[in-house]
Amino acid sequence: MPPMGLKGIVTKVGFMNKTATVTVSRWMEHNVTGKIIERTKKYLTHDPNNELRQDDVVIIRNCPPVSARKRFKLERVIKSPEAQRQLRRAQLEAQQQQQQASLAAQP
């Protein structure tokens, strides 16, 4: 099988060690009606560091079989809402500490 990279969303994580379920969507035209419809497929993906969280947008790549149903491995995380949330929370805490320090410094 040629190298194939797919972009998808992590839909299930944490139930199996080092494994996440990634849903990949594609759009196609119906043969008879001509309407554009969405087709989805779920892939079990090897996540060696257990770094994926639900709703992460990732790129997965096919690889030799890791287990009976795992044929894809994590290539990279494109966007992680959880990481963005933690970063924003850290920025807010830093701003609050600066404000408290400036208030304490004033006589």
pLDDT digits 0-9 by tens, 7-16: 999 999 999 9
Identify the burial level of 71 via C-beta atoms within 10 angstroms of its C-beta, where 0-12 means exposed, 13-18 middle and 19 or more buried. middle
Helix (H, G, I), strand (E, B) or coil at 91: helix
Task: Give how far the C-alpha of residue 77 lies from the chain's centroid of Cα atoms, to the nearest Å.
Answer: 6
Q: How far apart are CA 19 and CA 70, in angstroms?
A: 8
Indicate the average pLDDT of the chain.
93
Would you give per-residue pLDDT tens digits along the chain (107 residues)? 778 899 999 999 999 999 999 999 999 999 999 999 999 999 999 999 999 999 999 999 999 999 999 999 999 999 998 888 888 899 999 999 888 888 887 76
Percent of the chain residues past pLDDT 90, beyond the cut = 76
The structure tokens listed for 34 are 């001509």
Enter the tokens of residue 68. Answer: 């009976």
Q: What 3-state class would DSSP assign to 85?
A: helix
Q: Sort residue 102 into left (φ over 0), alpha (ψ -120 to 50) or beta.
A: alpha
What pTM value is reported for the model? Answer: 0.79
The answer to whether residues 47 and 72 touch, using CB atoms and an 8 Å cutoff, is: no
